[in-house]
Amino acid sequence: MSAPIELHYWPTPNGWKISIMLEELGVPYTVNYVNIGAGDQFKPEFLAIAPNNRMPAIVDPEGPDGKPISVFESGAILQYLGRKFARFYPTDERQRVAVEEWLFWQVGGLGPMAGQAHHFRQYAPERVEYGINRYTNEVNRLYGVMDRRLAGRDYLADAYSIADMASIGWIVPHERQGQSLDDFPNLKSWFERVKSRPAVQKGLAVGEERRSNISEDKNAQSVLFNQRAR
């Protein structure tokens, strides 16, 4: 049995990617809660492993050569864990490229655009029509891309992989992004298929009781939405 992996985490779509992966792997892990609404992401000990002041991050006490390694950026963490445990990240080059295409599509597209949709639709102090339309439409376009990809296939790549784990958490709050899954039948079936996995349910439940409503928390808004270079 390997030594527990330290997960630095808060229950959000980016955090869920890694709690889901660790649950899927069934490996031991401990959770270090990084309360991003309270500013824990700026603590020096967290910045030492995650210099972008964003969670998730991990510390694996048994990294390469048996020495500890820390990893930040959810995509890099998923790839690291996939390689380390040789699961959900195929070694066949064509299959691996397919996983990476959809993983990077999520990390560089779906996540940031859906995050901006949440921001303009839920958190912006005044209603900015342009921002709401821009990001709601962009998320709608991305849902369409995903829906077409999932026509006649069960998962984003050839089999269930880290690409599906990266994306599922961002579809959970689809209503907050102004989307209806009824408009995207293949995406809807995929969502139900992936969400029904016991490990996904466990991953989504990690720290659920700590989730707060940022749209009603002025202190969290000032921590999260007023950041400049330090």
Ligand X SMILES: N[C@@H](CCC(=O)N[C@@H](CS)C(=O)NCC(=O)O)C(=O)O
Site string for ligand X, 63-92 (x = CB under 6 A): ----------xx------------------
**Only segment of 6-14, 24-32, 91-99, 170-178 that touches ligand X (CB under 6 A):** 6-14
CA distances from 191 to 12, 24, 52, 86 (A): 17, 16, 30, 24
Q: Does 53 bind ligand X (CB under 6 A)?
A: yes
- Per CB under 6 A, the list member of 5, 22, 25, 36 interacting with ligand X is 36
224 binds ligand X (CB under 6 A): yes
Residues that bind ligand X (rule: CB under 6 A) add up to a total of 13
106 binds ligand X (CB under 6 A): no
| Out of 107, 139, 194, 200, the residue judged to bind ligand X by CB under 6 A | 107
Among 12, 79, 136, 179, binds ligand X (CB under 6 A): 12
Closest distance to ligand X from the beta carbon of 74 (Å)? 4
3-state secondary structure the chain: CCCCEEEEECCCHHHHHHHHHHHHHCCCEEEEECCCCCCHHHCHHHHCCCCCCCCCEEEECCCHHHCCEEEECHHHHHHHHHHHHCCCCCCCHHHHHHHHHHHHHHHHHHHHHHHHHHHHHHHCCCCCHHHHHHHHHHHHHHHHHHHHHCCCCCCCCCCCCHHHHHHHHHHCCHHHHCCCHHHCHHHHHHHHHHHCCHHHHHHHHCCHHHCCCHHHCHHHHHHHCCCCCC
Residue nearer to ligand X on the CB measure, 59 or 224? 224
CA nearest neighbour of 39 among 215, 230, 224: 224
Q: Determine if 31 is a binding residue for ligand X (CB under 6 A).
A: no
Residue 74, phi then psi, degrees to nearest 5: -55, -40
CB of 204 to ligand X, least distance (A): 14
Which window, 24-32, 51-59, 153-161, 209-217, contacts ligand X (CB under 6 A)? 51-59
Give the nearest distance from C-beta 54 to ligand X in angstroms: 4
Part in contact with ligand X (CB under 6 A); list of ranges 54-62, 139-147, 150-158, 209-217: 54-62
- List residues near ligand X by CB under 6 A: 12-14, 36, 41, 53-56, 73-74, 107, 224
